[in-house]
Amino acid sequence: MTVTLAGNPIEVGGHFPQVGEIVENFILVGNDLADVALNDFAGKRKVLNIFPSIDTGVCATSVHKFNQQAAKIK
């Protein structure tokens, strides 16, 4: 798959799930640094926002904007 980074096309590997696609369980780290598994939210709708590092201005701004929009979801 090709994505754009700073206006330049970049080839990335792996599989990007599509909306509605069922994916295998995976584990991420939560706000409290504890493991959080996808299976912990079984039966619930999920919106995932995954970003490389909250320590960068671009990622921090993106996360802030995402959280504002996500707060509007019912």
59 is catalytic: yes
Cβ contact 50:38 at 8 Å: no
Sign of CA dihedral 17, 20, 24, 28: positive
Give the CATH number of domain 2-70: 3.40.30.10
The span from the CA of 69 to the CA of 74, in Å, is 11
- What whole-number percentage of the chain has pLDDT above 70? 100
Classify residue 1 by burial, with Cβ atoms within 10 Å: 0-12, 13-18, 19+: exposed
Q: Using 50, 70 and 90 to split pLDDT, how confident is the model at 20? A: confident
- Letter for the amino acid at 69? Q
pLDDT at 37: 96
Domain boundaries, the chain: 2-70
Of 10, 59, 60, 63, the catalytic one is 59
Distance of CA 36 to the CA centre of its chain: 13
